[in-house]
């Protein structure tokens, strides 16, 4: 019979309904419940986004299904079985590992639906999966990052090129491309975390492939905590480039995210778009990767390479 390989596909997770937002937010806050004001603010953001309240859930489901199909089509000699493991919602990372063990999986790999490694993001997913796998006697290997995979760069570049067309006759040199990713607490810099460097490397590769010279990087979606987060924030960037450089056209490409969800549909499409309007900036955003075949091929490639020990 065919060799069976379990693939734990890990993603951020989202509530399934508005009454689950509190439990979800409490989990993100490591067990500290949000204040009523914080809860209302987050609930309002979910209610404001278009495309359904919790698009991340359906998008993750589709990505996992498409990846399983891609892996099995690429490698018919192996049977790949994908399992979901979410960071902050059910099925949790530990549930996914447990299901693999129950199904008699002996060889398993884990991957996160986020291309860039930080000890605070991908590192956290891997740690939890690893701990559960050890407890159950399952041996697992993990993909840590894939931020420069040629197919990922191609997929992102295609989006930048296509979205530049929305500025019609505006010369490319007059459009500022801003690559963004989720901010993290500044302390990761002292920890020599690869996250900022990997994000810049992806941005540079996409800029090169698309022939874009007029670009910069900005952070988004920083947490509302007392400790400082990596900046500059996209909203501050918009003010600065308008006031100091009279930039009128901005293309935002959120390279740190792979799916339509709150951080893209609210933080960029509503919040950043509102700031741009106030400043008289024409702002466009590149569409999310979601199940782009090139993204699925990226994931399939890096998973297979890990299985082969390459
Ligand atoms: O659509 C959805 O329902 C979920 C959207 C969502 C994604 C996402 C991705 C990342 N986060 C990362 C780091 C942090 C850190 C904190 C934090 C807090 C939140 C809150 C919400 C939220 N995150 Fe998130 N994140 C998403 C949603 N995130 C909601 C809580 C309210 C708020 O602050 O806005 C701060 C936690 C703390 O208080 O200690 C840190 C990183 C990513 C990208 C990598 C990944 O996908 O894992 C990094 C999607």
pLDDT digits (tens, 9 = 90+) for 157-216: 999 999 999 999 999 999 999 999 999 999 999 999 999 999 999 999 999 999 999 999
Burial class (CB in 10 A: 0-12, 13-18, 19+), 37: exposed
Residues touching ligand 1 (Cβ under 6 Å) are 12, 14, 25, 28-29, 42, 54, 56, 114, 120-121, 182, 184, 223-225, 256, 261-263
Average pLDDT for the chain: 96
Q: Are 179 and 217 in contact (CB under 8 A)?
A: yes
* Cβ-contact 191, 120 below 8 angstroms: no
Answer for the pair 26, 111: CB distance below 8 angstroms, yes or no.
no
Element spanning 284, H or E: strand 282-285
Which residues, other chains included, contact 140 with Cβ-Cβ below 8 Å and sequence gap of 6+?
Answer: 8, 97, 108, 109, 110, 129, 130, 133
Question: Would the pLDDT of 291 be above 70?
Answer: yes
Q: Which of 9, 11, 12, 20 to mutate to test the pocket of ligand 1 (most atoms within 8 A of CB)?
A: 12
Tokens of 71: 């892996």
Q: How far is CA 165 from CA 29, 170, 249, in A?
A: 41, 9, 12
Residue 310 has pLDDT above 60, yes or no: no
> Atom 40 of ligand 1 has which residue's CA nearest to it?
184
- Kindly list the distances between the CA atom of residue 231 and the CA atoms of 105, 115, 193, 228, 235, in Å, as whole numbers in the listed order: 43, 20, 15, 9, 10
Cβ pair 56, 11 in contact under 8 A: yes
Binding-site sequence positions for Fe(2+): 182, 263
Contact 7, 109 (CB under 8 A): yes
Nearest CA owner, ligand 1 atom 16: 223
Q: What is the mean pLDDT of the segment spanning 103-118?
A: 97
- Give me ligand 1 centre to Cα 186, in Å: 15
Question: Measuring from atom 28 of ligand 1, which residue has the nearest CA?
Answer: 223
Confidence band (pLDDT; 50, 70, 90) for 292? very high
Position 169 scores a pLDDT of 93
- Per-residue model confidence (pLDDT) at position 50: 75
CB 66 within 8 A of CB 9: no
- Which among 196, 200, 150, 201 has a CA at the least distance from the CA of 305? 150
What's residue 195's pLDDT? 98
Token pair recorded at residue 80: 């790949």
């Amino acid at each position: 019979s065919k060799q069976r390989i379990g693939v734990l596909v890990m993603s951020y997770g989202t509530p399934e309904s508005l009454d689950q937002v509190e439990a979800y937010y409490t989990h993100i806050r490591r067990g500290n419940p949000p204040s009523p004001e914080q809860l209302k603010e987050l609930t309002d953001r979910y209610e404001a986004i278009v495309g359904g309240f919790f698009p991340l859930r359906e998008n993750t489901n589709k990505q996992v299904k498409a990846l399983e199909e891609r892996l099995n089509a690429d490698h018919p000699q192996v049977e790949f079985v994908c399992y979901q493991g979410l960071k902050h919602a059910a099925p949790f990372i530990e549930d996914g590992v447990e299901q693999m063990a129950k199904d008699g999986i002996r060889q398993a790999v884990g991957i996160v639906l986020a291309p860039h490694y930080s000890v605070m993001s991908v590192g956290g997913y891997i740690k939890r999966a690893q701990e559960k796998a050890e407890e159950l006697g399952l041996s697992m290997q993990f993909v840590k990052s894939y931020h420069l995979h040629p197919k990922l760069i191609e997929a992102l570049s295609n989006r930048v090129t296509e979205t530049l067309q929305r500025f019609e006759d505006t010369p490319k040199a007059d459009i500022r491309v801003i690559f963004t990713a989720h901010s993290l607490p500044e302390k990761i810099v002292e920890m020599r975390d690869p996250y900022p460097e990997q994000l810049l490397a992806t941005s540079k590769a996409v800029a090169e492939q698309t022939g874009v010279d007029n670009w910069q990087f900005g952070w988004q979606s920083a947490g509302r905590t007392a400790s400082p987060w990596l900046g500059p924030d996209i909203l501050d960037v918009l003010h600065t480039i308008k006031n100091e450089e009279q930039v009128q056209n901005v293309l935002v490409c959120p390279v740190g995210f792979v799916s339509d969800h709150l951080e893209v549909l609210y933080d960029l499409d509503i919040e950043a778009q509102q700031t741009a309007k106030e400043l008289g900036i024409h702002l466009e955003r590149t569409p999310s990767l979601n199940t782009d075949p090139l993204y699925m091929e990226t994931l399939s490639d890096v998973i297979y390479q890990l299985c082969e020990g390459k």
